[in-house]
Amino acid sequence: MEGESAERNIFVREPPELYALAAKWIRGAINNGINRGHCAIALSGGSTPGPVYELLAKPPLSEQVDWSKVDLYFADERCVAPGHAQSNYAMIRRTLLSQVPIPAEQVHRIEAERSDVMEAVSAYGRILPAELDVLVLGVGADGHTASIFPGSEAEREMRRRVVWVEKSPKPPPCRVTITPPVIGTARQIVVIATGAEKAQVVARTLDGPETPLEFPIQLAKRGAWFLDSAAAALLKKG
Ligand code: 6PG
């Protein structure tokens, strides 16, 4: 598949153009939130979105957002210290938060490093807004998104909005994640995926039958999808 399918909100480009397009889309989604008064955005970690956050953190895009009207949340966090190489907060701080004038009290970290991780789950559940304006998600080749893995309790969670993941198949095993209801109520969702190893899950999610218990990323099917041609390679045309 090439180019873009506006109807399905699928955008296919090669990096770095892909990253620039996704960053602009996120800027627009943040400003839609601000136009309603304030923007609550939650970001994912992983390795894919870093270059997109870096573009959002630099002019011109960084100057097109009133960061004093943004509250920033996290889709999931690994149970490591906030400075750890595997911390999603550390990656997002390095690529975005340290570069833009967002007030520190408007950055709402998941404190997954706490010795009692359930305390971190409850604390985050209390601060996460009922409805996110923008949610940025990644996808794993197994169909997970945030830290909602196929076959896990998190994917069956319909009431609690934040849960502990004890045995994540993707290391590290201990994580805290948002749940399906949070994805379900987000106003705007963006999914960014690159690489041939994501091609099957992307095609299965967007073209296949609805089986979110097998592929939790299907919860984000209605989002805007930013793909490189390798990740989009198995999609049906149109
Ligand atoms: C995490 C994530 C996770 C990630 C996907 C894709 O903390 O691991 O939030 O859901 O987005 O696994 O990860 P990559 O971008 O590294 O492929």
Question: For 159-196, how does the pLDDT look when each residue is reduced to its tens digit (9 = 90+)?
Answer: 999 999 999 999 999 999 999 999 999 999 999 999 99
Determine contact, residues 163/198, Cβ cutoff 8 Å: no
Residue with CA closest to ligand 1 atom 12:
140
Q: Is the CB of 138 under 6 A from ligand 1?
A: yes
Q: How far apart are CA 125 and CA 119, in angstroms?
A: 10
- Residue 23 is predicted with a pLDDT of 98
Residue 65 DSSP code: S
Q: Which single residue is written with the structure tokens 């592929």?
A: 215
23, two tokens? 């960053």
Q: Is the CB of 140 under 6 A from ligand 1?
A: yes
- Residue 2 is predicted with a pLDDT of 44
Q: How far apart are CA 225 and CA 203, in angstroms?
A: 12
Q: Residue 192 CA: which ligand 1 atom is closest? A: 15
- Residue 8 is predicted with a pLDDT of 79
Strands (DSSP E) contained in the chain are 4-5, 10-12, 39-43, 70-74, 76-78, 134-137, 162-165, 175-178, 188-193, 224-227
Kind plus residue range of the DSSP H or E element containing 134: strand 134-137
User: How remote is the CA of residue 200 from the centroid of ligand 1, in Å?
Assistant: 16
- Residue 6 is predicted with a pLDDT of 53
b/e string for 110-140 if b means 16 or more Cβ within 10 A? bbbbeeebeebbebbeeebeeebbbbbbbbb
Residue with CA closest to ligand 1 atom 10:
146
120, two tokens? 């971190």
User: How remote is the CA of residue 81 from the centroid of ligand 1, in Å?
Assistant: 18
First-to-last alpha carbon distance for the chain, in angstroms, is 8
- Residue 35 is predicted with a pLDDT of 98
Q: Is the CB of 87 under 6 A from ligand 1?
A: no
Determine contact, residues 10/46, Cβ cutoff 8 Å: no
pTM: 0.96
Q: How far apart are CA 124 and CA 104, in angstroms?
A: 16
Q: What is the mean pLDDT of each run of 10 residues along the chain (238 residues)?
A: 64 98 98 98 97 98 98 98 96 98 98 97 98 98 98 96 96 97 98 98 96 95 98 91
User: How remote is the CA of residue 37 from the centroid of ligand 1, in Å?
Assistant: 30
User: How remote is the CA of residue 99 from the centroid of ligand 1, in Å?
Assistant: 22
Backbone dihedral region of 9: left (phi > 0), alpha (psi from -120 to 50 degrees) or beta? left
Residue with CA closest to ligand 1 atom 3:
146
Q: Residue 48 CA: which ligand 1 atom is closest? A: 15
